[in-house]
Amino acid sequence: MPQLEEKPRIFLEEYRLKNAANDYGMADEKWNFKKFVKNFRIVIVRLDNFEMEFDLIGLQPAFANAFRRLMLSEVPSMAIEKVIVRNNTSIIQDEVLAHRLGLIPLKADPRLFEYRPEDATEGTEYDTLEFSVKVKCTAVKSQPKDSYKTEDLYENHSVYSSQIKWQPIGNQASVHKEADLGPVHGDILISKMRPGHELDLQLIAVKGIGKDHAKFSPVATASYRLLPEITLTREVVGGQAALLQSCFSPGVIGIDSEGRAYVKDARYDTCSRNVYRYDDIKDAAIMSRIRDHFIFNVESVGAMAPNVIFVEAVKILRDKCKTLLDELNSF
């Protein structure tokens, strides 16, 4: 058996999971700040305006899970909280329509706004955004003959999020731009209408957190998994190499010019353990996961970049720790 580098591992055997020898679990390890600083690393693998994949290395599971939960439920965002219905003659009920509008993600940066006081009856320019939707469906006067296309028969037959218009409060027009506050995507369908249907709505957006309602969560997904590791214990060639390759996710096992199998990139393996189905190759690979290496995937809904969301989660955890220390020191 090849010598493996000393890392905290979980081995994936055919019918069970097994910790490495002399590994009694990270929960029993004494916290050592100097060791943590030496081993901890953050590696950004992929980053764009909506998605980020990064690695947290040398971290205990409790911290990784804390960051995940903070991004989901405690990093704030702006969302439509109240809908004032002046007129709704569409087929969608007022309550359903209000719920659909509340789930439309907004571009507004929550760091530029304050939380609205619970006892406030009206919003201010510092804690509230107002939008309006005013659309009426009518029949096209000059309809083409023999055409049954909806766009040829009716005007405003579909209401999209691009038709949500910002209504500045107080001095907001001089501070913000409409392009920075409206819906993230303009092609979200709100309602379908026919002649005689009309929407006249006033929308009120406030700052909130996902713990109160999922519409305030700044991420679509925030998840992590342990880094897979695959080690080949012997040479695998020919038909066995092709069989071994088919047992893993695409791109994990490669075959060189001489027909030998090798581990190309274990990172994206799903750890399905299909290799144990075949007696002739089940002894050719050791499958494990590194217990202190977390692969994070964060997908933003669009208000903030995913790297900003993670930094905000770190700040929230820092503030919680500071509050706890202050409470302990006050006794």
Helix (H), strand (E) at residue 327: helix 306-329
CA 159 to chain centre: 27
- CA-nearest of 250, 255, 249, 248 to 278 is 248
pLDDT bin (cut points 50, 70, 90) of residue 76 is very high
Q: With 80 as the cut, is the pLDDT of residue 29 above it? A: no
Would you give the DSSP letter of residue 75? S
Report if residue 64 sits inside a domain: yes
If one counts every other C-beta atom within 10 angstroms of the C-beta of residue 194, the result is 14
Mean pLDDT along residues 185-192: 94
Give the amino acid at 272: S
Q: What is the pLDDT of residue 263?
A: 94
Same domain, 27 and 70: yes
CA–CA distance, 142 with 131 (Å, rounded to integer): 33
Select the more confidently predicted residue: 6 or 137: 137
The predicted structure's pLDDT at residue 152: 79
Higher pLDDT pick, 4 / 284: 284
Residue with tokens 């939707």: 133
- Find the CATH number of the domain harbouring 105: 2.170.120.12
Sign for the CA dihedral angle at 301, 115, 128, 197 comes to: positive
**CA gap 121, 57 in Å, rounded:** 47
The stretch 303-326 carries a mean pLDDT of: 95
Which comes out higher in pLDDT, residue 154 or 295?
295
Question: Is residue 3 scored above 60 in pLDDT?
Answer: no
Instruction: Look at residue 20 and tell me whether its pLDDT is greater than 80.
Output: no
- Does one domain contain both 52 and 110? no
Which residue type is seen at 118? Answer: E
Same domain for 150 and 189? yes
Are 95 and 17 found together in one domain? no
Cβ neighbours, 10 Å, residue 78: 25
Q: Please count the structural domains in the chain.
A: 2
326 falls in which pLDDT band (50, 70, 90)? very high
Beta partners for 171?
none
CATH number at residue 48: 3.30.1360.10
Q: Looking at residues 231-254, what average pLDDT do you find? A: 93
The tokens of 36 are what?
A: 């943590």
Using CA atoms, how far apart are residues 77 and 80, in angstroms rounded to an integer?
Answer: 10
**Do residues 57 and 23 both lie within one domain?**
yes
The arithmetic mean of pLDDT across residues 192-207, rounded, is 95
Rounded Cα–Cα distance for residues 13 and 10 (Å): 9
Radius of gyration of the chain (CA): 27
Instruction: Say if residue 113 is in the same domain as residue 46.
Output: no
Assign 48 to helix, strand or coil: coil
Looking at residue 328, its pLDDT comes to 92
Residue 321 in 3-state DSSP?
helix
**116 with 66, same domain?**
no
Taken as a whole, the chain contains a residue count of 331
User: Is the domain of 60 the same as that of 155?
Assistant: no
User: Which stretches of 161-284 are assigned E, i.e. beta strand?
Assistant: 165-167, 189-192, 198-208, 219-232, 253-255, 261-263
pLDDT for res 280: 92
For 55, list phi and psi in degrees, rounded to 5: -110, 135
- Whether 148 contacts 179, CB under 8 Å: no
Question: What mean pLDDT comes out for the span 13-27?
Answer: 74
User: How far is it, in rounded angstroms, from Cα 177 to Cα 172?
Assistant: 8
86 shares its domain with 208: yes
Q: Which domain holds residue 138?
A: 78-215
Question: How far apart are the two ends of the chain, measured CA to CA in Å?
Answer: 56
Please indicate whether residue 297 or residue 26 has the higher confidence score (pLDDT). 297
Please check whether residue 131 lies inside any domain of the structure: yes
In a domain, 34, yes or no: yes
pLDDT tens sequence across 137-181: 998 888 777 777 888 788 899 999 999 999 999 899 999 998 899
Structure tokens at 6: 């000393």
